Amino acid sequence: MPYSYALAQHGTTLATRPFAERLRKEVVWEADGQKLVELDFSGVLSASHSFADEFVAQMAEESQEGEIGFRVAVTNVSPNVEARITKALDLRAVRLFELA
């Protein structure tokens, strides 16, 4: 059973790099020892590029480089938010774990 982190607990819109950094550190701390972390975006309507980069792409990069011990996947992401996440991942040339 993967560890799931619900972003909607922080609101329907997610913005700013410092906020994303705080959440990323929270997830990394809470998911210590897990194999897979699902970032659940259900209920999130918008996310800024800075948030997507600092939260998702940075975490995916740390996972890919072995700095953190779990793989990262996103679930229930709206097309709008997905576009920002995809762009942030592309710019860092990293990928998320794809759930079956």
Comparing CB distances to other proteins, the nearer of 38 and 44 is: 44
Comparing CB distances to other proteins, the nearer of 38 and 51 is: 51
- 38-57 burial, b at 16+ Cβ within 10 Å, e below that, comes to bbbbeebeebbbbbbbbbbb
- Judged by the rule CB under 8 A, the positions of this chain that interact with other proteins are 11-19, 45-46, 48-51, 53, 57-58, 80, 84, 87, 91-92
Comparing CB distances to other proteins, the nearer of 38 and 61 is: 61
Please give the Cα distance from 52 to 45 (Å, whole number). 13
Please give the Cα distance from 90 to 3 (Å, whole number). 25
Closest distance to other proteins from the beta carbon of 48 (Å): 4
Closest distance to other proteins from the beta carbon of 37 (Å): 21
SS3 state at 14 = strand
Closest distance to other proteins from the beta carbon of 53 (Å): 6
